[in-house]
Structure 1
Amino acid sequence: MFDTHHRRRPTAAAALAALAVVLIVAVGTAVALWVTGDSDDTPAAGGTDAGFTIDPVGTDPIDVATVVMAGVFTWQPAVQDSTWDALHTQAGHLTGPMATAAAQEPSPAPKPISEWAAWARSGDTLTAVVRPDGDTTVDGDTATVPVTIAQTVQHQSGQATPYTTYTATVTLNDVVGEWKVSDYRITSSSL
């Protein structure tokens, strides 16, 4: 038979060993929190680029020409009164005749594109994709970039309809180390 009166009790050595393990875990946790934690109790900010200036345009004539012209030919008729509004948003990247045209809305206003009112009513947006289309010429502080501008009507339904494609020559000037669009000439259009 079993002797139920003689239960084995923990020895002092076992109790000290358990206490040592608890202390080691507690001290290790405290050190880990101290090393990785913040000095204040505010949560760390999520991933953000706030506080950093990101230049979406780029620094070479091709990048500047394609990004700026995409901005000039991307239109939001529901929130913009005319294509001039898109030109005006690019004013910081323009010089010469383009900067002059972007500085003040023309008066009288040019005749609107015939589809503008319908696009505005339906909330459509015209997006422009601009790609280089030929050899870029750089001569001192002037560059010429041939481009293709493809506009697409983005409908609220999610569908897209090609609108028009242009080929153009974009002229840029280096203004204090920054390329800016000064002019463009449409050389062909699918309209």
Structure 2
Amino acid sequence: MSTSTKRRPVIITVAVAAAMISCVLLIQCETNPTSTSSSTDSHAHIDPLDPVGASPEAVAINAITIIHSWRPSHDNAPWQALHRATALLTHPIVQAASTPPNPPPRPIPEWDGWARSRDQLSAAVTILEPATLTGATATVPVRLAQIVLHPDGLTTPWRTTTLRVELARDGDIWRVGSYTTVAVSR
């Protein structure tokens, strides 16, 4: 038996032992962290849509984005997008989001074509000015750009709208109460 053949079991044993020690140390570090750092980089999950502690601007962006992002091949009407935003809404708009309108509003002319071609509409919202705060209410002017996303990856701008978003504060949560269209351009 050569010297290299005699060393092979020793090398394999050492490699296996090293791997086991590494696994044990890794498990120990995962289950018993010893860091005393006061850093906030905990890698905790942060939900960007959670309105708790969010600014009125952040809530306005999130709510208007959800309300105006549409899936015509899955949704019967834009109301379903409004309904998806319910957690970010308050009186009076939350009531409109809770029950489909009856009778339904006039349909968007392009809706059926988007549904047939499986297009989706994505909303991008930009804050035009910082929120104006008055007690427990805020007004945020925003620009909403809706873009048609085609299944082949191409996009088509559809509509740009300027909105005035009204919010109300309940504790540490801002919620959208209404929004008004200021201007529309295609």
- Is the TM value for this pair above 0.5? yes
Distance in structure 2 (CA, Å) of the matches to 1:31 and 1:135? 55
**Are 1:117 and 2:107 counterparts?**
no
Structure 1 position 94, deviation (Å): 0.2
1:60-139 to structure 2, matched below 5 A, reads 60-139=55-134
TM-score by length of 1: 0.76
How many residue pairs were aligned?
Answer: 165
Aligned to 1:25: 14
- Cα separation, 2, equivalents of 1:115 and 1:28: 66
Partner of 2:136: 141
Could you list the per-position Cα deviations for residues 5-64 of structure 1 after superposition, in whole angstroms to 9, with x for gaps in the alignment?
Answer: xxxxxxxxxxxxx8xx77x937952544433358xxxxxxxxxxxx95624245000011
Please, which of 23, 36, 42 is the counterpart of residue 26 of structure 2?
36
Q: Distance in 1 between matches of 2:23 and 2:172?
A: 48
| Structure 2: gaps (5+ residues) | 1-6, 29-43
- Which AA in structure 1 matches 2:58? D
Dislocated runs of 4+, deviation >2 Å: 24-38, 51-58
Identical residues among aligned pairs (%): 35
Structure with higher Rg: it is: 1
Using the alignment, how far apart are the partners of 1:83 and 1:27 within structure 2?
Answer: 60
RMSD between aligned alpha carbons? 2.9
Which amino acid in 1 is paired with 2:115?
A: A
* Aligned counterparts of 1:162 and 1:122: Cα–Cα separation in 2: 16
Cα deviation code 1:101-142 (max 9, x no counterpart)? 101101111111011000000000011100101232011110
- Which residue identity lines up with residue 131 of structure 1 in the other structure? T
Letter in 2 for 1:117: D
- Is the 1:57–1:63 contact (alpha carbons within 8 Å) kept by the matching residues of 2? no
Residue identity in the other structure for 1:35: L
Distance 1:31 1:162 in 2: 57
